[in-house]
Chains A and B, each alone.
Chain A
Amino acid sequence: MTETRYTKDHEYVRVEGDVAVVGISNHAQEALGDVVFVELPALGAKLAKGDGAAVVESVKAASDVFAPVSGEVVEVNKDVDAQPGLINEDATGRGWIFKIKLVDAGELASLLSEADYAAFLKTIA
């Protein structure tokens, strides 16, 4: 079973077994506008929750992507390297950024559920 959780910094985490797929939310891609460059994390990088993991650059501005959970980067999305616009087209699908192997599944509990994230977005609108 898969479950998607969110941070208040607008990253999402989709848990697939002991690996989490990380990207930016649809709300985040809309707010950023056209993405023109993605700086991916290094494969094998060991990240602590909250570390800067990637950078998404739009025409206007750069935005940090923080590791929503701790773990090791086990895969990066080469497609968004070649076609950064995939993040605008399909942020939570083909526009994923990296996969991280969880070291502490308990960290997921501190993230927002889909419904909580939707409620959070209403508070900042």
Chain B
Amino acid sequence: MSDSATLHTPLHALHVELGARMGPFAGYDMPIQFASGILAEHLHTRTRAGLFDVSHMGQAQLVGPNHATVAAALERLCPADFLDLAPGRQRYSQLLNAEGGIVDDLMVARPPGADGQLNLVVNASRKAVDFALLESGLPTSVRLTRLDRLALIALQGPTAIAVLERLEPNGGLAAMAFMSAQRVPFGRFTAFVSRSGYTGEDGFEISLPADEVEAFARRLLADPDVAPIGLGARDSLRLEAGLCLYGHELDETIDPIEAGLAWSIQKRRRLEGGFPGAARIQAALAEGPARKRVGLKPDGRAPARDGAEIVNASGVEIGRVSSGGFGPSVAGPIAMGYVVRSAAAPGTPVSLMARGKPLAARVAPLPFHPHAYHRG
């Protein structure tokens, strides 16, 4: 059901041609699943290579006189160390509000060979908020440019590298390590490619001109290893991988320490602060957060869904499920949620309320499915 207010990515017509079931997501008409269904798409991505359209996400570039100036500007809004980000490397971080709550999570890459540029990828649902925050928070010497003429696709799975090497044997792709980023020529155009993704698998995110993406997607889909994957499987893949989704695990009331993202705040920033909400975040680092994001594994086969209350053995509410569903690779129900710190240890028995009935569950370590990143 699309209407005039619904946005389309440059691959919309291809999704429809491929028989996708389309649905609304963050203002876009997006493929939820293709003919083979979410289970098959999920398992295909874990064993071969899945092609995702993530062109709805927000791409932008920060440009300034030199790296130190641009990095310092972004460090005033995010808690990661960008000064230390080497050319050709990418980091995961968060835009924070004054209380240290998460306005959005984002990827930040430093393109090699250009001094004073950082490439950003933010969530579709948060583009407007993020870009307004960035524009108001940047010094005059650093400019934000939205890259609305670029598409973004992800090729994820153990054979993603082989597929791309068949297409572009001289692109230097095999030598890329997880979270590296560089320009790669693909014949008529040059793409900006990072070895990253949001499935827990090895894979690549490829930023390329919007008017080239359909032809490129067709070339990828012509490889027998590649299948198109919808947002349904993207969600089950990231949930199994224990990765946060904005609006579920992350929002403006949750800080990065509660969210289990302390690893994304490097040592210098922890010591120096200088980002929004630094006092709260430094206190949470020192004393431990009041609540924590955890994995939850129901004992039975019934899944718990987002928003379900989490109760302890005495029936007292100790948190809420933030994402819940079925893990096709785990072959059972899985969830993530926030619980009080005293109940956050793996193995802690809890109950998840599903339609008024308690489902017995245990706090479980994350991820549910081991990451298979290419560490190089």
Give the interface of A toward B (CB within 8 A): 33-34, 36-37, 39, 55, 57-62, 88
**Complex CA–CA separation, A58 to B301 (angstroms):** 12
Give the interface of B toward A (CB within 8 A): 32-33, 37-40, 42, 232, 235-236, 301-303, 305, 325-326, 328, 333, 354-355
- Nearest-neighbour CB distance to chain B for A59, whole angstroms, equals 4
Q: Give every chain B residue within 8 A of A36 (Cβ-Cβ).
A: 39, 301, 303, 326, 333
The reply to whether B236 and A59 contact each other, CB–CB distance below 8 Å, is yes
Check A34/B38 contact, CB under 8 A, given A59-B325, A60-B232.
Answer: yes
- Nearest-neighbour CB distance to chain B for A9, whole angstroms, equals 16
Q: Give every chain A residue within 8 A of B326 (Cβ-Cβ).
A: 36-37, 57, 59
Contact of A57 among B33, B39, B236, B302 (CB under 8 A): B302
Number of A-B residue pairs, CB cutoff 8 Å, is: 44
Check A33/B303 contact, CB under 8 A, given A57-B326, A60-B232, A60-B325.
Answer: no
Q: Taking CB as reference atom, which chain A residue is nearest B305?
A: A62
- Nearest-neighbour CB distance to chain A for B15, whole angstroms, equals 16
The reply to whether A33 and B37 contact each other, CB–CB distance below 8 Å, is yes
Q: Give every chain B residue within 8 A of A61 (Cβ-Cβ).
A: 305
The reply to whether B37 and A34 contact each other, CB–CB distance below 8 Å, is yes
Q: Give every chain A residue within 8 A of B354 (Cβ-Cβ).
A: 62
Q: Give every chain B residue within 8 A of A39 (Cβ-Cβ).
A: 302
Q: Give every chain A residue within 8 A of B333 (Cβ-Cβ).
A: 36-37
**Complex CA–CA separation, A79 to B210 (angstroms):** 48
The reply to whether A37 and B39 contact each other, CB–CB distance below 8 Å, is no
Q: Taking CB as reference atom, which chain A residue is nearest B232?
A: A60
Q: Give every chain A residue within 8 A of B39 (Cβ-Cβ).
A: 34, 36, 59
The reply to whether B33 and A33 contact each other, CB–CB distance below 8 Å, is yes
Q: Give every chain B residue within 8 A of A60 (Cβ-Cβ).
A: 32, 38, 232, 235, 325
Contact of B302 among A34, A37, A58 (CB under 8 A): A37
The reply to whether B38 and A59 contact each other, CB–CB distance below 8 Å, is yes
Q: Give every chain A residue within 8 A of B37 (Cβ-Cβ).
A: 33-34, 88
Q: Taking CB as reference atom, which chain A residue is nearest B300?
A: A37
The reply to whether A33 and B302 contact each other, CB–CB distance below 8 Å, is no
Q: Taking CB as reference atom, which chain A residue is nearest B37?
A: A34
Q: Taking CB as reference atom, which chain B residue is nearest A84?
A: B301
> What are 6 A-B contacts with C-beta separation under 8 Å?
A33-B37, A33-B232, A34-B38, A59-B39, A59-B236, A60-B232
**Complex CA–CA separation, A39 to B301 (angstroms):** 9
Q: Give every chain B residue within 8 A of A55 (Cβ-Cβ).
A: 302, 355
